[in-house]
């Protein structure tokens, strides 16, 4: 049994997925902390240095679990640096546990360049046959593989009547490149799409099977999702004396019963701790609670939140975005929906946390820059999205009326690279996410907390 040392959640390059994981663990009643790669490099996982150790008594053992949320795996590896990557490997080798979701799963895989990952799992990441196949989201039916480590499978998964009916959420996942090895076990594999499954901005449930066949025959495009069948979704293995579980399913998704129950079991199995619940409650970013007041300190932050919500509403009104869940806006392929979701979720969370002294000191320094950049971003993003709408409208008759190069330059300035981020939104996110990090011990208000 572990002591009270909190579970560590890697905060770098996690954005909305880091917030979702942090929220999930707190909702399940487990002590956890957001930690940065530089803290891990300084020994936070082994109880040597960093913020994480300050909540523990002297001489307490290493953290019971490193949880790495979704997000860009390469950027996470960069944030850890060589020392941080070696520290994670040392932690696992000594008996630590690692749980990675989506990008956190990808971080653990083997890479040609050791700087791009942790190389604790001998499998690598596979490319999708078509880029569009990466754009899958929603729930999928999966098959549980009971020949894996039985300790990692709850009783309901080992029940044959349930093993083929499990429904797990995926949000634009990567893909494993399986190898025949005895030291890696498949815990679950894809079976078929569930009712809320989308491919890009197409809800597959609403498209007849014969239409998929016609599309493939006429255009050579396979949108049936049969490319997923039997592909590994959740795997496990050992590294030294430690264990890892890598999942391209986001088991921390709010109100996903099968996923949440499995997450609670994994946390129990990997840490020896006992979750206080097995269901993560709804996360409603439509109605964020606010611990900040609309005074000189809080006004820029609250106004920033109003701006991002207005931007999302504008995109929905013009059929560029759509409200997918209470915590997630979907978007048409090619549009910067992910970046807008990241900023909105960060602002909703930041305003819900009553700031302490460290957070206020940071905000007093960062507030003028945030107050200057936020209106620039809002106006620029509004103009960009409307220009995308105009280009779409004019495409049949005036395909070159809206200059594509100009749109591309505008997008890069606002949102950076689609995979690696950057732009104005990255500057704003950096400020808001640092505020969250410094406020993580503070009380929260609202369902987004």
DSSP string, 299-312: HHHHHHHHHHHHHH
Residue for token digits 């998704």? 253
Token pair in block for residue 329: 């806006």
Domain residue ranges of the chain, discontinuous segments joined by +: 7-271, 299-438
Listed in sequence order, the residues at least 6 apart from 386 whose beta carbon sits closer than 8 Å to its beta carbon are 314, 318
What per-residue confidence (pLDDT) applies to 182? 80
pLDDT surpassing 50 at residue 58: no
pLDDT surpassing 50 at residue 414: yes
Token pair in block for residue 217: 């025959």
In this prediction, what percent of the chain has a pLDDT beyond 70?
Answer: 92
Q: What is the mean pLDDT of residues 325-348?
A: 96
Token pair in block for residue 445: 């208000």
445 confidence band (pLDDT: 50, 70, 90): low
Report yes or no: 181 and 109 within 8 Å, Cβ to Cβ: no
**Mean model confidence pLDDT for the chain:** 90
Listed in sequence order, the residues at least 6 apart from 117 whose beta carbon sits closer than 8 Å to its beta carbon are 73, 74, 77, 85, 106, 107, 108, 109, 110, 111
Residue for token digits 């409603």? 284
Listed in sequence order, the residues at least 6 apart from 372 whose beta carbon sits closer than 8 Å to its beta carbon are none
Task: Find the range with the poorest average confidence among 2-16, 157-171, 289-303, 418-432.
Answer: 157-171
Q: What is the mean pLDDT of residues 35-40?
A: 98
The whole-angstrom separation of Cα 361 and Cα 296 is 14
Token pair in block for residue 410: 């505008």
Torsion of CA 196, 202, 208, 210, to 10 degrees: -140
Highest mean pLDDT among 177-191, 217-231, 321-335: 321-335
pLDDT surpassing 50 at residue 56: no
pLDDT digits (tens, 9 = 90+) for 173-197: 999 999 888 889 999 999 999 999 9
The whole-angstrom separation of Cα 315 and Cα 90 is 46
What per-residue confidence (pLDDT) applies to 147? 66
53 confidence band (pLDDT: 50, 70, 90): very low
What per-residue confidence (pLDDT) applies to 24? 98
448 confidence band (pLDDT: 50, 70, 90): low
Report yes or no: 60 and 296 within 8 Å, Cβ to Cβ: no
pLDDT surpassing 90 at residue 392: yes
pLDDT surpassing 80 at residue 277: yes
Q: For residue 202, what are the β-bridge partners?
A: 199
What per-residue confidence (pLDDT) applies to 50? 46
What per-residue confidence (pLDDT) applies to 57? 36
Where are the extended beta strands (E) located within 42-179?
A: 66-68, 97-101, 124-125, 136-144, 166-171, 176-177
Task: Find the range with the poorest average confidence among 145-149, 207-211, 342-346, 438-442.
Answer: 145-149
Torsion of CA 289, 292, 295, 300, to 10 degrees: -80
Count of CA atoms in the C-beta half-sphere (13 A) of 427: 17
The whole-angstrom separation of Cα 346 and Cα 339 is 11
Region of residue 302 (phi > 0: left; psi between -120 and 50: alpha; otherwise: beta): alpha
Residue for token digits 């929603």? 138
What per-residue confidence (pLDDT) applies to 384? 98
Listed in sequence order, the residues at least 6 apart from 323 whose beta carbon sits closer than 8 Å to its beta carbon are 316, 329, 330
Report yes or no: 199 and 135 within 8 Å, Cβ to Cβ: yes
What per-residue confidence (pLDDT) applies to 131? 76
Report yes or no: 1 and 60 within 8 Å, Cβ to Cβ: no
Report yes or no: 43 and 94 within 8 Å, Cβ to Cβ: no
pLDDT digits (tens, 9 = 90+) for 121-179: 999 999 877 777 888 999 999 988 766 677 898 877 766 545 557 899 999 999 999 98
The whole-angstrom separation of Cα 66 and Cα 18 is 13
Is 0.95 topped by the overall pTM?
Answer: no
342 confidence band (pLDDT: 50, 70, 90): very high
CATH class, range 7-271: alpha beta
Burial state string for 383-419 with b = 16 or more CB within 10 A and e = fewer than 16? ebbebbbebeeeeeeeeeebeeeeeeebbebbbbeee
C-alpha distances in Å from residue 320, one per residue of 313, 334, 387, 429: 10, 10, 11, 22
């Amino acid at each position: 049994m572990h002591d009270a040392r909190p579970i560590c959640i890697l905060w770098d390059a996690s954005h909305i997925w880091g917030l979702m994981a942090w929220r999930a663990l707190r909702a399940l009643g487990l002590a956890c902390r957001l930690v940065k790669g530089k803290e891990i490099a300084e020994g936070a996982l082994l109880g040597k240095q960093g913020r994480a150790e300050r909540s523990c008594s002297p001489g307490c053992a290493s953290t019971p679990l490193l949880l790495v949320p979704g997000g860009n795996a390469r950027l996470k590896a960069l944030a850890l640096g060589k020392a941080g990557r070696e520290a994670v490997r040392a932690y696992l080798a000594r008996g630590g546990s690692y749980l990675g979701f989506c990008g956190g799963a990808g971080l653990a895989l083997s890479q040609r360049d050791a700087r791009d990952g942790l190389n604790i799992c001998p499998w690598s990441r596979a490319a999708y046959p078509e880029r569009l196949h990466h754009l899958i989201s929603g729930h999928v039916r999966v098959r549980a593989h009971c020949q894996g480590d039985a300790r990692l499978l709850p009783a309901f998964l080992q029940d044959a009547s349930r093993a083929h009916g499990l429904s797990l959420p995926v949000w634009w996942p990567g893909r494993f490149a399986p190898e025949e090895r005895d030291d890696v076990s498949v815990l679950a594999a894809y079976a078929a799409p569930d009712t809320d499954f989308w491919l890009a901005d197409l809800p597959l449930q609403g498209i007849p099977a014969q239409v998929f066949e016609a599309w493939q025959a006429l255009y050579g495009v396979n949108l049936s999702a049969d490319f997923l069948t039997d592909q590994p979704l959740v795997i496990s293995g050992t590294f030294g004396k430690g264990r890892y579980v890598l999942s391209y399913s986001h088991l921390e998704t709010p109100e996903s019963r099968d996923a949440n129950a499995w997450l609670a079991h994994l946390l129990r199995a990997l840490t020896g701790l006992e979750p206080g619940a097995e269901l993560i409650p709804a996360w409603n970013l439509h109605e964020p609670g606010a611990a900040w007041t609309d005074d000189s300190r809080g006004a820029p932050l609250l106004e920033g939140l109003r701006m991002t919500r207005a931007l999302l509403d504008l995109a929905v009104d013009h059929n560029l975005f759509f409200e997918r869940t209470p915590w997630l806006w979907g978007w048409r392929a090619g549009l910067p929906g992910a970046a807008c979701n990241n900023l909105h979720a960060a602002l909703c969370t930041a305003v819900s946390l009553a700031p302490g002294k460290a957070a206020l000191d940071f905000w007093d320094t960062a507030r003028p820059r945030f107050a200057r950049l936020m209106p620039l971003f809002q106006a620029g993003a509004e103009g960009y999205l409307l220009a995308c709408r105009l280009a779409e409208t004019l495409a049949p008759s005036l395909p070159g009326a809206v200059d594509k190069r100009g749109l591309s330059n505008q997008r890069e300035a606002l949102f950076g690279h689609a995979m690696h981020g950057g732009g104005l939104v990255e500057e704003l996110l950096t400020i808001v996410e640092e505020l969250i990090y410094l406020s993580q011990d503070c009380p929260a208000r609202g369902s987004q907390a």
